[in-house]
Amino acid sequence: MENQKELEGLRKSKGALEQVIAHHLKGQKAKKILPPQLEAEFWHFNIDRTRSNAIQFFGQGVITFTIYVLLILPTNYVIIRDSANFTVDFAYSILSLFIVGLALFLFWAFSRFRHLRAYFYQASCTIIFSTIIVVSLLLLSVSSVVLQNQAMLLLAFLYILGFVLSGIKPLHMLWLGAVAASIVLFLLYIFDIPCDFLIVGRMYIGSMLLGFSMSVILIAKERKFFIRSKISEIDEKILRLQASELLHLSQHDELTKISNRRTFDEMFEHFYQLACQTSKPLSFLFIDIDYFKNYNDFYGHLKGDEVISEIAKTIQSSIRHMDFIARYGGEEFVVLLPETSAQGAYAVATNIYRTIDRLMIPHERSLVAKHVTISLGVTVFHGDAEISQETVIHTADKALYRAKQLGRNQVYYQPIAKAVEDI
């Protein structure tokens, strides 16, 4: 029942996600596609992927950045070697590259170390914001116009990286980039640093618009991927539950919900081998409802099924957690009691017998009482590998037969050794 409810819930969730994809394909705005809870889960998923990529590709990023530095520094030297402020310009150039490298390292550190991961998003915003401001001020303060123009390409690249690779939400990055650009332009104006404010402003605006557009497109694709991955997860859970349900049905009796004959055969093999290895007793109870055919003929099969279910439930509640019960067939049940002596088995059987007797289920066609009763056959296997499993079952069955011969409504114990002699 619980599995069925869970399956129904999973199918509803899958249907809702499929509707989300359908709406997305119809062209709804990407930012309004997901419900709030699912949107929050998506961004958690997206940030995890960003962190994972930062860790995975950190080595490649270091190599790429090193190659870039080795290429850019000599060219900067050539560009500004005749500049009047060569030392300052070249120092600013080196310092800006160092800051970019430090930003990449901090981005990796907040991805890699567990105690820093909780602050990854805030750290990403702070790192991008600070890097844009500091690098902008350094590179736009150089006296070389050629170096300033080159700097604007680097700044545009930083903006696009911030939008595309940092894991920051597009709207957050747009506000962050706009505030950083405003601060830079304000400081350049306050400190009277010579630069073409129109070109710089156009660079900032163009970079932000391009980065924002790219990130919105990429995030929309990421949302689709996220939803499809969620559907795949749900499909996997549904398959697992269905497999579990099929396994449960194959191992349990549908009416009583206890183990069936097939499972009994497997469990008896296990307990038998365990008793042989440990030389500890294994008690076997065979139980039969007295005059059950008469009950069915008089009350009907539906009432008969109710009695079988009630008897199974009562037996199960009368044994230990480590014990095993199964419906052997029809109105017959078997109980395995590991590490239980003959005295203990007889006590358990007597307790089951009395508990069912106290139920006082009416049985007008019983020849031994006015209510439903049971007969029990008991035997004990002591771990002797020379005695087969068939012999143990036969002995318990013979004990049950003797209980019926003696008038039913009773417990009968049959030692295995005596049964072997009789055979």
Catalytic residues: 331
3-class SS at 208?
helix
C-alpha 401, offset from chain centre: 51
Q: Which residue has the tokens 């049950």?
A: 400
Tell me the C-alpha distance between 282 and 287, whole Å.
16
Pairing of β 374-381 and β 282-289: antiparallel
Which stretches within 318-388 are classed as H helix? 342-359
Enter the tokens of residue 247. 């396994």
Tell me the C-alpha distance between 366 and 407, whole Å.
12
DSSP state of 327: E
Tell me the C-alpha distance between 398 and 411, whole Å.
12
Q: What are phi and psi of 370, to 5 degrees?
A: -90, 5
Beta-carbon count within 10 A of 41 CB: 14
Instruction: Identify the H or E element spanning 135.
Output: helix 120-139
DSSP state of 252: B
DSSP state of 385: T
- Output the CA–CA distances (angstroms, integers) from residue 400 to 148, 184, 271, 423, in the order listed: 100, 95, 21, 16
b/e map 261-294, b = 16+ CB within 10 Å? eebbeebbeebbeebbeeeebbbbbbbbbbbbee
H, E, C per residue of 337-354: EECCCHHHHHHHHHHHHH
